[in-house]
Amino acid sequence: MSEPIRVVVTGAAGQIAYSLLYMIARGEVFGNKQPLILHLLDIPPMVGVLEGVVMELADCALPLLREVIPTTDPAVGFKDVSAAFLVGAMPRKEGMERKDLLSANVKIFKAQGQAIENFAKKDVKVLVVGNPANTNAFVCANYAPSIPRENFTAMTRLDQNRATSQIATKLGVPISDVKNIIIWGNHSSTQYPDAGQGKVVINGQTKSVADAVNDTSFLQGAFVETVQKRGAAVIAARKMSSAMSAAKAACDHMHDWWNGTAPGTFVSMGVCSDGSYNSPKGVIFSFPVVIVNKKWEIVQGLDLSDFAKSKLTLTGKELQEEKDEALSVLDVGSSNL
């Protein structure tokens, strides 16, 4: 069996982490032969809850889990980690403007970026889950200049999973028979869920999702809106935000980054934009990617409709605005980025 790797989860006393920690410790992300040391990082008021989480992890008697280190100190939390799930963030409160939320989170992710720079392994893989995830990932990467920028990603896999589920339900097929549904842009209501590149197996034959659904108004209307507003719908029904599904998506994201994507299959990840598909350079933008040897690559040459291009422009504009707002909060010039 391999040497243990260290994995940190921030916001470790929270709802998402409660599902996520069990999935990671069971081997669903890094494999069933990879021992783990889990670092659980949270803020001081959550120490009591964190102690309960540590007890529960012990009581699960998980063979791969060699040690659990609960802490409120980022220096301990990020020490020698190979993977980081940045779940903890300031939640949006009633009456809070987006800029206020961004301002609070910029400070959190600046501090976490600095801790990653100083204490994590230089090949650490960072997944930002806490919202606004794309811009939080941008800030975090900026404060860890010795870590490759491609090692900072934002989660749009939850949106991809939601979109894939909607298509599977519409066509009456298992989830496993639908692939290559894309999320473009921001993890926000401007994201563009795109079934245009999707493939589906029906009666043993592979066809395009567009042909199988055969309803452009659905694919450009109700489908897009349902995925964009799914988070709000879960909150309205559950009185809390998505937790189990967010944890599953975080596992899917890191699993594929660690283990690679299957041939002919691509997944959605928020990554540093190189300007592909006319996206704004430098923002963290969700693209379809393929992954080999723990390195992602943006899928190039996809044919986008004018409708799709207009949606990419819209979400790109929002990400550029968020980036500019973050920079104004940090009071640094764009020349530093």
**Tokens at 172, concatenated:** 């009456």
* Strand residue runs (E) in 56-133: 65-71, 83-86, 125-128
d(CA 186, CA 103): 18
214 assigned binding-site residue: no
User: Are 268 and 286 spatial neighbours (Cβ–Cβ below 8 Å)?
Assistant: yes
d(CA 201, CA 211): 12
Active site residue 255: no
First to last CA, the chain: 41
129 assigned binding-site residue: yes
CA dihedral 121, 125, 131, 137 (to 10 degrees): 80
* Distant-in-sequence contacts of 256-264, Cβ < 8 A, 24+ apart: 256/291, 257/125, 257/127, 257/153, 257/291, 257/294, 257/296, 258/29, 258/30, 258/31, 258/83, 258/125, 258/294, 259/31, 260/291, 260/292, 260/293, 260/294, 261/289, 261/290, 261/291, 261/292, 264/179
162 assigned binding-site residue: yes
> How far from chain centre, in Å, is Cα 170?
25
Q: DSSP for 291-334?
A: EETTEEEEPP-----HHHHHHHHHHHHHHHHHHHHHHHHHT--G
**Tokens at 262, concatenated:** 């299957």
Q: Which of 39, 187, 253, 255 is catalytic?
A: 187
118 assigned binding-site residue: no
User: Are 174 and 147 spatial neighbours (Cβ–Cβ below 8 Å)?
Assistant: no
98 assigned binding-site residue: yes
131 assigned binding-site residue: yes
Give the pairing of strands 205-208 and 199-202: antiparallel
d(CA 119, CA 252): 26
d(CA 332, CA 51): 38
Residues of the binding site for NAD(+): 42, 105, 129-131
Detail the residues annotated as belonging to a binding site.
42, 92, 98, 105, 129-131, 162
Residue ranges for the known binding site for substrate are: 92, 98, 131, 162
Residues taking part in catalysis: 187
